[in-house]
Amino acid sequence: AAAAAAGPFSLREVLDAFRRCVTEQREVLLEPYLSGWRGLIRFLQSLGAVFSFISKDAVAKVALLEAQHRQHRFVSLQSLVQHELAAGPAALRARPDSGCRTVLRLHRALRWLQLFLEGLRSGEPRTSVLCTDAYNASLAQHHPWVVRKAATVAFCALPSRDAFLEIMNVGSADEAVAMLGEAIPYIGDVYGITQELFAEHKLLDLP
C-alpha cells in the first residue's frame, strides 16, 4: 500500500479498496474503507487548491478514524459501532469526536460519490452540473448555507468530463467508463450496508 500511495492516482486502487471492504458476513472492513478514502483524498488534492477546504475536512476525519482503528483494533464498522454504543446512546450523541459521527459524514459523502460517478458514466459532459446535482441530492441537506455556497463555487473549477476520465488513470475514456461501471456497485454496496447499520441503531442523525 505504501508503494501504491507513492505512484500517480488511479481509480483502480480506490475500486480495489472498496471491493475488499465487504465480507461474506456483510461486514464493512475498516482498513480497506480508510484506504479507499485515502485514495479519493489524493485524487481531490490533485485537482488543485480550490478544493483544499474539502480535502482538509476529509483528511481530518480519516485521521480521527485511523487513530481509533489503531487504538482499539476495530476490524469493521460494525465493531466500531458496537464498541461506541456500549457506553449508551446518550453518551455517544454527546461526543463530538466519536467514530460513529465521523463515519456518518464520510458515509454521506460516499453517497455523493456514487451519484457523481453515475453521472460521469451517463455521459453528461458538464461535470459542475453533475457534481452540483449529486451534492444537492446528498450532502447539501446536511450542510449550512455557507458550506453549500463554498462547495458550489468550487464545483465550477472542476475539470471537463474528458479530463476527468483521463486523470482517473485507467486507460482510454471507454476503459475509464467501464471501470466506473464496475466500481459503482461496490461503492453502492458499502453505502447500503452502512446505511442499514446506522438506521438499525438510530444513528443516522448523530450531531
Smallest gap from residue 104 Cβ to ligand 1PX (A): 8
Interaction of residue 203 with ligand 1PX, rule CB under 6 A: no
Interaction of residue 147 with ligand 1PX, rule CB under 6 A: yes
- Select from 67, 60, 44, 74 the least CA-distant residue to 159: 44
* 21 Cβ contact partners less than 8 Å away, ≥ 6 residues apart: 28, 29, 32, 33, 36, 186, 189, 190
- The correct pick among 16, 29, 35, 43 for binding ligand 1PX (CB under 6 A) is 43
Smallest gap from residue 110 Cβ to ligand 1PX (A): 9
Interaction of residue 44 with ligand 1PX, rule CB under 6 A: yes
d(CA 105, CA 61): 8
3-state class of 86 per DSSP? coil
Interaction of residue 33 with ligand 1PX, rule CB under 6 A: no
Cell triple for 41: 483524498
- Write each residue from 156 to 185 as x if it is in contact with ligand 1PX (CB under 6 A), else as -, in one continuous string: --x---------x-----------------
133: left (phi over 0), alpha (psi -120 to 50) or beta: alpha
Interface ranges with ligand 1PX (CB under 6 A): 11, 40, 43-44, 51, 53-54, 57-58, 105, 108-109, 112, 131, 135, 139, 147, 151, 158, 168
